[in-house]
Amino acid sequence: MSKILLVEDDQNALEGLAHILRDEGYAVQAVSDGETALEEIGQDEYNVLLTDLKLPGIDGLQLYREIKGISPEIATIVVTAFGTVKTAVDAMKEGVYDYVTKPIEVDELLIIIKNALNRQDLLRENIMLRDQVQKAYSFENIIGNSGPMQDVFKKVNKVSSSNSTVLIRGESGTGKELIAKAIHFNSQRKDRQLVTIDCASLPENLLESELFGYEKGAFTGAFRTKMGRFEVAHGGTLFLDEIGDIPPGVQAKLLRALEERTILRLGGTKDIPIDVRVIASTHKDLEKGLREGTFREDLYYRLNVIPIFLPPLRDRCADIPLLIQHFVNVYSEDTNIPPKKISKEVIDICMRYEWFGNVRELEHAIENAVVMGEGDTILQEHLPFNIFSGTTKNGETATLHNSNDSYNEQMDVAEKTIIQNALKKMDGNRTKAAKLLGISLRTMRYKVKKYNL
């Protein structure tokens, strides 16, 4: 039951309002002056403060200021005469939720109280979700005891307290976005937005408008002004995923935004100041892009202030058993089953496998084993076919034991390997890989999604 502290020096109005609010199901403490109200706040917790602006001794605005220091989460509604509405409006600028004028319209007051309580629920929910997100992306949830990962942790921990630009590099599936989130949610900007944009998935004109926004009438179809991601991320962090795929035309405008800390919307004439911490990531060889002229040298040095390299899973094999156990726990909890045991054969197979898809591929393999496997132990036959029939660290083919996989399933494994090899040869460029294989880009996108590449 929501609790309301009602403060009114007119005894008839005090009793009448208290009666109405109690009939609506609220617990009401009714007092006639500010001093008594302060005593009540010190003894109990209230959701809403409903107070007249004009009170003997401490007036309503002063009472709000005093209570704000004691109970900042309380929603304050002030009651004012028509002639002092300006005072009530000024009070709202200080944080008062809303006001009603005398004579009070009961229906209006009840709606305002209901909205104030709903807003409190949303604020509490947001705080809870934010705490959950920060916990999810704490350093403790990034798995790895190997030497390479310990070096990453040290760097991430140090860079989180700064506002420096970070460039995260590593193969697809190594966890670049997870590191970016860990940096943000352990920084001083953690209470502001983390805005992400995938630079590889948008054509040049759309990427530019998404980054910088546009003014109404800037182009056909621009029926309204739209904020870009830089503006949305103001005060927080902008994560530029796969920065190596950004078109040359956008690179110059991105460089200007980073250097001058201002952006210009498409069709705009006025520079907009921005306060944004930028984190970028790429799986591409940017130095090769510099040599070939596809990536600007000045932008490279502007982004590469603090580089963080994520090792591929094959170079941190010591972490594989830890990662397997972590994913078993995660997906067991998701499916509401007791965590399964892991057979020695599964560990051995996973330690031998090359993991072209890195941690992401391992996660999907264990998710499949937890969800689809029967019994209380994960066995080798619960792993996807390609895991124990793929390439080992010695370049040999792992042996397939007790497999009942169909012809179609084995063909899928072969097709996945072909797609992987083409993507690797073309540095992850889907368009070039599709051309190499003689298939359409649409087909390539479908296959990448199908095989979680």
- Encoding tokens for residue 412? 């899928």
* Predicted local distance difference test score (pLDDT) of residue 142: 75
Whether residue 173 sits in one domain with residue 40: no
| pLDDT value of position 17 | 92
Same-domain check for residues 329 and 188: no
Average pLDDT rounded to a whole number, residues 55-72: 86
Instruction: Verify that 209 and 288 share a domain, yes or no.
Output: yes
Q: Which of 142-146, 312-316, 389-393 has the lowest mean pLDDT?
A: 389-393
Domain identity same for 216 and 355: no
Taking CA atoms, 381 is separated from 338, 343, 365, 418, in Å, by 20, 11, 11, 23
Q: Is residue 277 within 8 Å of residue 186, measured between CB atoms?
A: no
Q: Considering only CA atoms, which of 420, 447, 436, 450 is closest in space to residue 353?
A: 420
Helix (H, G, I), strand (E, B) or coil at 6: strand
Alpha carbons 328 and 116: distance in angstroms, whole number: 43
Residue 158 phi/psi, 5-degree rounding, is: -75, -40
Do 27 and 85 belong to one domain? yes
Taken as a whole, the chain contains a residue count of 453
Residue with tokens 């005469």: 81
**Predicted local confidence at residue 274, as pLDDT:** 95
Q: What are phi and psi of 269, to 5 degrees?
A: -125, -5
In DSSP terms, which residues pair with 78 in a beta bridge?
Answer: 51, 99
- Of 413, 423, 343, whose CA–CA distance to 376 is shortest? 343
pLDDT top residue among 326 and 414:
326
* Structural domain boundaries, residue 423: 314-450
Closest CA to 297 of 242, 263, 251, 259: 251
**pLDDT given at position 403:** 47
Average the pLDDT over 64-69 and give the result: 87
Residue 340 DSSP symbol: P
Choose the final residue of a domain: 115, 132, 149: 132
pLDDT the model gives residue 41: 87
Give the domain CATH number at 104. 3.40.50.2300
Residues 123 and 146 in one domain: no
| Mean predicted confidence (pLDDT) in 43-62 | 88
CA atoms within 13 A on the CB side of 368: 17
Domain stops at, among 261, 295, 311: 311
Whether the Cβ atoms of residue 382 and residue 373 lie closer than 8 Å to each other = yes
Same domain, residue pair 152 and 121? no
205 and 228 both lie in a single domain: yes
Q: How far is CA 25 from CA 21, 37, 48, 110, in A?
A: 7, 21, 14, 11
Question: What Å distances lie between residue 16 and 2, 10, 23, 104, CA to CA?
Answer: 19, 10, 11, 11
What pLDDT does residue 400 have? 43
Other CB atoms within a 10 A radius of the CB of residue 341 amount to: 12
Question: How confident is the model over 368-409, as pLDDT tens digits?
Answer: 999 888 889 999 888 887 776 654 555 444 444 444 556 566
User: 358 with 291, same domain?
Assistant: no
Q: How far apart are the first and last CA of the chain?
A: 51
Answer yes or no: are the C-beta atoms of 204 and 247 closer than 8 Å. Answer: yes
pLDDT more than 70, % of the chain = 90
C-alpha closest to that of 17 among 58, 77, 96: 77
Measured N-to-C along each axis, helices 204-212 and 248-260 cross at an angle, to the nearest 10 degrees, of 10
Q: Are the C-beta atoms of residues 24 and 48 closer than 8 Å to each other?
A: no
Q: What are phi and psi of 361, to 5 degrees?
A: -65, -40
Q: Which helix (H) or strand (E) holds 27?
A: strand 27-31
For position 160, which CATH number holds?
3.40.50.300
Please name which of 368, 380, 377, 384 lies closest in space to residue 339, comparing C-alpha atoms: 377
What is the per-residue burial (b if ≥16 Cβ within 10 Å, else e) of 2-17?
A: bebbbbbeeeebbeeb
- Using alpha carbons only, how large is the chain's radius of gyration in Å? 30
**pLDDT (0 to 100) of residue 1:** 81
Nearest to 46 by CA among 84, 22, 15, 75: 75
Domain boundary among 261, 288, 311: 311
Q: Which whole number is the average pLDDT over 27-43?
A: 90
Which pairs from 248-256 meet CB under 8 Å and 24+ separation?
248/294, 248/296, 249/204, 249/208, 250/204, 250/207, 250/208, 250/211, 251/295, 251/296, 251/299, 252/296, 253/208, 253/211, 253/212, 254/211, 254/299, 255/296, 255/298, 255/299, 255/302
Q: For residue 412, is pLDDT > 90?
A: no
Tally of domains within the chain: 3
Residues 126 and 164 in one domain: no
Residues 149 and 56 in one domain: no
CA–CA separation, 264 and 306 (whole Å): 26
Tokens linked to 407: 């012809």
How confident is the model at residue 415, as a pLDDT? Answer: 78
CA angle 404, 406, 412 (to 5 degrees): 120
Dist CA 380 CA 345 (whole Å) = 6
> Are 265 and 160 in the same domain?
yes
- In this structure, which amino acid lies at residue 320? I
- pLDDT above 50: residue 187: yes
